[in-house]
Amino acid sequence: MAPGLRSELHCVLIICCIMTANCLTLTYPSYNTFTLFIDDKPLLDHNSGDPVAAVGRSRINFTEDQGNFIISEDVYEKIELSTCDIDESGMPDLFKATCYSVENFPEVSVDFAVEETADSELFRKTALVNITVFGRDRLWFRLASNSTEKIYGGGEQFTYLNLKGREFPMWIREQGVGRNLSSPLTEIVETGSPGAGGDYHTTYYPAPIFLSTWNYAILGKQERYSILNFTSSTRKEIYVHDEKLTLNVGTAANLMDLVGAINREISVIPPTLPEWIYNGAIVAVQGGTQNMLDKLQQCLDNGVNISAIWIQDWAGKIETPFGYRVFWNWRWNEELYPKLDSVIFNLAQQGIQVAAYINPHLNVEGDLFVEADNLGYLLKNDKGETYRQDFGGFLAGTLDFSNPVAKQWYADLIKTNIIGFGFKGFMADFGEYTPVDAIAANSPDPYQFHNLLPVLWASTVRLALEETDTLNSVLPWARSGFTNAQGFHSMIWAGDQNVDWSMSDGLPSSIVAALSLGLSGFGLSHSDIGGYTTLNGILTRSEELLLRWAEYSVFTPLMRTHEGNKPELNHQIYSTNETLKSFARLSAIYTSLTPYHKEVVSQVATFGIPAMAPLFLHHAEDIDSFDIQYQYLYGSDLLVAPVLQPSKTNQEVYLPPGRWMHLWDNDQKVFEGPVSVNVNATMGKTPVFFRDNSKWISLFNDIRNRFNL
Ligand SMILES: *[C@@H]1O[C@H](CO)[C@@H](O)[C@H](O)[C@H]1NC(C)=O
Ligand SMILES: *[C@@H]1O[C@H](CO)[C@@H](O)[C@H](O)[C@H]1NC(C)=O
Ligand SMILES: *[C@@H]1O[C@H](CO)[C@@H](O)[C@H](O)[C@H]1NC(C)=O
Ligand SMILES: *[C@@H]1O[C@H](CO)[C@@H](O)[C@H](O)[C@H]1NC(C)=O
Ligand SMILES: *[C@@H]1O[C@H](CO)[C@@H](O)[C@H](O)[C@H]1NC(C)=O
Ligand SMILES: *[C@@H]1O[C@H](CO)[C@@H](O)[C@H](O)[C@H]1NC(C)=O
Ligand SMILES: *[C@@H]1O[C@H](CO)[C@@H](O)[C@H](O)[C@H]1NC(C)=O
Ligand SMILES: *[C@@H]1O[C@H](CO)[C@@H](O)[C@H](O)[C@H]1NC(C)=O
C-alpha cells in the first residue's frame, strides 16, 4: 500500500460487539492516528509523534564469564516508523497495518496483523499479533500504556514485582552476587570480576510473558535476545533482535482468571507432588556416608522431621577458590559414599528418602566427559572442538541437547544413575552459561540456542521421569528456565541468594522470585533456606537469618536447606542443638500443614492459582495491595508476612479486605481488613494470618495449640 492511500478513510470509528466486548475495536480519529482495543482495553496506539514501531541496526557483544554476561550494544541506527497505513476491512476479527518512515519506504517497513483467534477455553478472548520487519533486523514494537497501569511477570524477577518503570533483558544468566550496582558489596564483587555482581534484572529464568492490570496478558514467542522495556509511561515496548515477533494476547475478567489461564495454558505440572515431601524438610548434608548418617541422626535425635537427606556431592567433590563444589561426573562416587546403595534402601524403610544433584555439564576430568566427547554429544567451539568452559576453577563440557541422540543418552544417564539408583529427588541445576560462540548440532542460531538450552535441559529431565514412570514419585527442582520450561518442570527453586537480608539478593528477593514466577506461568517454587552465597570475611550466614528463612519456608510448597558454598563459615541447622530444636519445631509445622499443602498444590494444577501469590491476585479490588511484594498468600487462606530484617520482635502487616486472625494469637482476635496491624514477630513466629471463614480453621487452631511458644 502506498503512503497516504488511506488518508481519505480517516475518522473511521468502528464500534462492534458493544454487548459482549468480545472482539477487537478500533478508534481512528484522524489519519495516522489510531487505538486498537482488545476487550475494551487499549492494546496498540499510534500517532506520528509516538509511533507503534521502530526498526534499526545494532552491533552487540555477549561476553561470557562463568555464567555472567556483559552485554554491550551499539544501536547505530534507529528509524521511527511514524506513518502507519491501516487496513480495517477485516474488523472486528482482523486488523492490519503497514508502518514506515517516508524517507526510506519501501526498503524499510513493518507489517503487522492483529487477529482474533479461536476462543481459548482458558482466556476470555485471545488474539495473535504477528509482526514482520522488512529491511532491518532490530525491532521496537510498542503496546499502549499509561501511568496507572501496572505490569507483572517477566519470568523470575528478584528485585521488583511491578515491572513498570524499568527494562528487563530476556537473557538467561547467573543472577549475580549482590545484584545492586549501588551497593558496596556488588562493587567489591564487580571489582574482582566484572559482570559478576549482577543487577536488578539479572536472572536464571527470564520469560517474555507479562500481564497488565488491564486484565490482559502478553505471551511473547521470541527466543533470541529481547528487552521488555517498561520505562516509558505511555508504552510497553518490546525490543527484539529479529525480523519477526509473535505475541499471543489473552484477556480475562480479572487478574486471578488471567493468571489462572496463563498458568494452565503453558504449564504441564502433575496434579500432585511426591507424597514423601510432606514428611518434613529436605535437609542438605555432604561429605560422605558417615557424615551424612551422623548429621541425620543428630537431626532425628533433636526431633527434626526429615523427608529426605540431600547429598549434592554424591558424585564426588572438588575444592575451588569459590568453595566446596561437586565433581560433575554423574555417577555414584563409592569412595566418598561407601555403601550408599544399601544406605538408601535402609533409609527408605524408615521413611527417609535420599536426593542427589545433576546439571547439564560434565567435568573434563571425569570418565563421562570422555565418553560424551568421544560420542560427539557436547557443544563445540568454532574450531569444531568440544567446548571446554570455565565454571569457576574447573573446566566442563555441555550436553548438546539439540541432538536427540545426545539428549536420550543424558536422559538414560539420569534414569540409570539417579532414578534407578534409588534417589527420590534431585537438584537439576544450571543451564544459563551457553556462550554465543558455542555450536550446537541442530540449532544454527546461537542467540536463540542460548535461551533455548534451559528448556531442552528441562525436557531431558522430564523425559527421564516419564520413561521411568516416576513423575509422581521423584522430584527434580530446577533453576534455569525460559518460556516453555513450564511445560516440563514442576518445581523451581530461586537459585543462589546471598546469605543476607538485602532486598536485591537476600531473603526478601526470594519472595519476589516466587511471586513473579507464579504470575509468569510457574506456580510452584521454593528457595534455599538460609541462602547460598557466602563470601569469606564479607558475608556469612547467621543463625537468625537461617531460622527466619526456615520460618517462612514452612509456608511454601517445599522446605529445603542448603549449606551454602562455604558450609563451615555458615551457621547450619545442625550447628547447635538449640538451632536444631528450633528447626525441628518448624519442620513439624510444615508437616502438620500437609492437607493444606496438598490443596494448595492441587489448585496450581487445577485452577492455575500460584501456590505463593501476591495479595492483589486474590484481592484485585484492593488498590493498596498492588505494590506489596514482600507479603503473599500461600493458597487462598494463609497470608504470610516473612520477617525481613534482623532483631525484629514485632512487625507491621497489611491485611487486605476480609476478616483475619493471627495464627500465633491465643486470643484469636479478628482483624477487619483493609488494615495495617502490628503483631508479635519474635523468633519462631513469622506473622501468618488466616481467614476467619477458612474451612481449615481446625487445622490452624491445632497448629497454634501444638506449636505456639
Ligand atoms: C565488540 O567487541 C569487539 C572486539 O572486542 C569490539 O571491537 C567492539 O567495539 C565491541 N562492540 C560493542 C558494541 O561493544
Ligand atoms: C505472520 O506473518 C508472516 C508474514 O506475513 C506470515 O508468513 C506468517 O504465516 C504469519 N504467521 C502467523 C502465525 O500468522
Ligand atoms: C489508563 O488506562 C486505563 C485503561 O484504559 C484507564 O481506565 C485509566 O483511566 C487510564 N488512566 C489514566 C491516568 O489515564
Ligand atoms: C541498593 O543499594 C543502595 C545503596 O546501599 C540502597 O540505597 C538501595 O536501597 C539498594 N536497592 C535495593 C533494591 O536493594
Ligand atoms: C527503553 O525505553 C526508554 C523510554 O522510551 C528509552 O529511552 C530506552 O532507549 C529504551 N531502551 C531500549 C533498550 O530500547
Ligand atoms: C545434642 O543433642 C544430642 C541428641 O539429643 C545429644 O546426644 C548431644 O549431647 C547434644 N549436644 C550438646 C552439645 O548438648
Ligand atoms: C515428626 O517428628 C516427631 C518427632 O520425631 C514425630 O513424633 C512425628 O511423628 C513426626 N511426624 C511425622 C508426620 O512424621
Ligand atoms: C511476643 O511473644 C513472646 C513469646 O511468646 C512473648 O514473650 C512476648 O510477651 C510477646 N510480645 C508481645 C508484645 O505480645
| pLDDT tens-digit readout, 390-448 | 999 999 999 999 999 999 999 999 999 999 999 999 999 999 999 999 999 999 999 99
Decide if 126 is inside a domain: yes
Same domain? For 419 and 333 the reply is: yes
Mean per-residue pLDDT, 300-311? 98
Query: Is it the case that residue 156 has pLDDT exceeding 60?
Result: yes
The pLDDT, as a whole number, for residue 22 is 54
Answer yes or no: do 456 and 522 share one domain.
yes
C-alpha cell recorded at residue 318: 572438588
Å from CA of 251 to ligand 2 middle? 22
Other Cβ atoms closer than 10 A to 642 = 23
Residue 64 is predicted with a pLDDT of: 97
For residue 72 and ligand 1, the question of a CB distance below 6 A is answered with: yes
Ligand 7 geometric centre to CA of 588 (Å): 7
Ligand nearest to the CA of 74: 1
Nearest CA to ligand 6 atom 11: 577
Asked whether the predicted pLDDT for residue 3 surpasses 90, the reply is: no
Would you state the pLDDT for residue 272? Answer: 82
The pocket around ligand 3, CB under 6 angstroms, is made up of 41-42, 146-149, 214
Q: Among 196-210, 309-323, 638-652, whose mean pLDDT is lowest?
A: 309-323
147 & 17 share domain: yes
**pLDDT tens track for 677-698:** 999 999 999 999 999 999 999 9
Q: Identify the residue whose C-alpha is closest to ligand 2 atom 9.
A: 130
- What pLDDT does 324 receive? 83
For ligand 3, the distance from its centroid to the CA atom of residue 701, given in whole angstroms, is 44
Which-ligand-closest: CA of 295?
Answer: 6
CB-CB contact of 598 with 618 (8 Å): no
Q: Minimum-distance ligand to the CA of 294?
A: 6
94 and 43 housed in the same domain:
yes
Is residue 405 domain-resident? Answer: no
CA 68 and chain centroid, separation? 18
- Provide mean pLDDT across the span 94-119: 95
Last residue of a domain, one of 576, 606, 636: 606
How many domains in the chain? Answer: 3
Dihedral angle of Cα 656, 657, 659, 665, to the nearest 10 degrees: 20
Give the integer Cα–Cα distance in Å for 20 and 25. 12
Q: How far is the CA of 290 from the centre of ligand 7 (A)?
A: 24
| Atom number, ligand 3, closest to the C-alpha of residue 146 | 1
Residue 560's DSSP bridge partners are 282
Structural domain that includes position 87: 3-260
Q: How many CB atoms lie within 10 A of CB 628?
A: 17
In which band, very low, low, confident or very high, does the pLDDT at 121 lie, cut at 50, 70 and 90?
A: confident
Q: Choose the residue to mutate in 302, 577, 579 for probing ligand 6, maximizing ligand atoms within 8 Å of C-beta.
A: 577
Q: Say how many Å lie between the CA of residue 503 and the centre of ligand 4.
A: 8
Q: Which of 436, 375, 377 is nearest to 403 (CA)?
A: 377
pLDDT digits (tens, 9 = 90+) for 615-634: 999 999 999 999 999 999 99
For residue 594, the ligand 7 atom closest to its alpha carbon is 13
445 Cα–ligand 1 center, Å: 20
Ranges 1-10, 11-20, 259-268: which has the least confidence? 1-10
Of ligand 7's atoms, which has the minimum distance to the CA of residue 587?
1
Residue 454 lies in a domain: yes
Note whether 290 and 233 are same-domain residues: no
Q: Which of 554, 587, 606 is the last residue of a domain?
A: 606
Going from the Cα of 51 to the center of ligand 6, the distance in angstroms, rounded, reads 70
Strand partners, 169: 227
Q: Is 279 in the pocket of ligand 7 (CB under 6 A)?
A: yes
Give the pLDDT confidence score for residue 321 in this predicted structure.
82
- pLDDT above 90 (res 119): no
Closest ligand relative to 45 C-alpha: 3
Give, for ligand 1, the residue of 57, 60, 61, 77 to mutate: max count of ligand atoms closer than 8 Å to Cβ. Answer: 61
- Give the pLDDT confidence score for residue 322 in this predicted structure: 78
197, 177 Cβ separation under 8 angstroms: yes
Report which protein residue has its CA nearest ligand 5's atom 1: 229
For position 625, what pLDDT does the model report? 96
Structure confidence at residue 23 (pLDDT):
81
Residue 494: which of 453, 474, 521, 524 has the closest Cα?
524
Which SS3 state, helix, strand or coil, does residue 675 take? Answer: strand
Within 6 A (CB) of ligand 6 lie 301-302, 577
Let me know if residue 85 belongs to a domain. yes
Residue 4 confidence (pLDDT): 36
- Structure confidence by residue, pLDDT tens digits, 73-96: 999 999 999 999 999 999 999 999
Give the pLDDT mean for 460-487.
Answer: 96
Per-residue confidence band for 709, with pLDDT thresholds at 50, 70 and 90: confident
Residue 225 has pLDDT above 70, yes or no: yes
Quick one: cell of 211?
Answer: 500481564
Is 187 in the same domain as 334?
no
Which ligand 7 atom is at minimum distance from the Cα of 591? 13
Over residues 476-494, the mean pLDDT reads 95
Q: How far is the CA of 359 from the centre of ligand 3 (A)?
A: 46
The pTM of the full predicted model, rounded to 2 decimals, is 0.96
237 with 301, same domain: the answer is no
In a domain, 240, yes or no: yes
Q: Are residues 320 and 178 in the same domain?
A: no
Q: Which residue minimizes the CA distance to atom 5 of ligand 7?
A: 303
Whether residue 170 is found in the same domain as residue 297? no
Catalytic (active-site) positions: 429, 432, 496
Is ligand 5 within 6 A of the CB of residue 167? yes
pLDDT computed for residue 15 by the predictor: 41
E strands present in 386-504: 389-390, 395-398, 425-428, 475-478, 492-493
**Ligand located closest to 150 CA:** 3
Query: Could you tell me which residue, 98 or 118, shows the higher pLDDT?
Result: 98
Query: For 344-394, how does the pLDDT look when each residue is reduced to its tens digit (9 = 90+)?
Result: 999 999 999 999 999 999 999 999 999 999 999 999 999 999 999 999 999
The confidence score (pLDDT) of residue 371 equals 98
Assigned domain for 562 exists: yes
Instruction: Write out 350-374 in H/E/C secondary structure.
Output: CCCEEEEEECCEEECCCHHHHHHHH
Number of the ligand closest to the Cα of 243:
2
Calculate how far, in angstroms, residue 513's C-alpha sits from the geometric centre of ligand 4.
Answer: 18
- The residue among 320 and 304 whose pLDDT is bigger is 304
pLDDT band at 6 (very low <50, low <70, confident <90, very high): very low
Judged against a pLDDT cut of 50, whether residue 211 lies above it is answered with: yes
557: Cβ–Cβ under 8 A, 6 or more apart, which residues? 273, 491, 524, 525, 526, 597, 600, 601, 611, 612
Instruction: Report CA(148)–ligand 3 centroid distance (Å).
Output: 6
Residue type, 642: P
Which residue's C-alpha comes closest to atom 9 of ligand 7?
305
The residue whose CA has the least distance to atom 14 of ligand 7 is: 279
pLDDT tens for 561-599 read: 999 999 999 999 999 999 999 999 999 999 999 999 999
303 lines ligand 7 (CB under 6 A): yes
Query: pLDDT, tens digit, for every residue of 248-294?
Result: 999 999 999 999 999 998 887 676 899 999 999 999 999 999 999 99
| CB-defined site of ligand 4, < 6 Å | 159, 180, 182-183, 502-504
Q: What CATH number is associated with residue 680?
A: 2.60.40.1180
User: Do residues 593 and 617 both lie within one domain?
Assistant: no
Q: Is residue 367 part of a domain?
A: no
- Look at residues 606, 640, 660 and tell me which one is the last residue of a structural domain: 606
Structure confidence at residue 16 (pLDDT): 38
Assess whether 132 and 238 both reside in one domain: yes
CA nearest to 276, candidates 598, 580, 527, 589? 598
> The domain spanning residue 456 has which CATH number?
3.20.20.80
Nearest Cα residue to atom 14 of ligand 1: 72
| Substitution site in 305, 352, 580, 592 for ligand 7 pocket (most atoms within 8 Å of beta carbon) | 305
> Which residues sit with their C-beta closer than 6 Å to ligand 2?
111, 128, 130, 132
pLDDT score recorded for residue 120: 82
The residue nearest atom 5 of ligand 2, judged by CA position, is: 132
516-537 confidence digits (pLDDT tens): 999 999 999 999 999 999 998 8
Residue 10 has pLDDT above 50, yes or no: no
How far, in Å, from the CA of 110 to the mean position of ligand 2?
A: 12
Could you tell which of 677, 680, 704 is best to mutate to test the pocket of ligand 8, judged by most ligand atoms within 8 Å of the CB?
680
Q: Is residue 369 one of the residues assigned to a domain?
A: no
Pocket residue to mutate for ligand 1, from 59, 60, 69, most atoms within 8 A of Cβ: 59
Average pLDDT score, the chain:
95
Together in a domain, 187 and 336: no
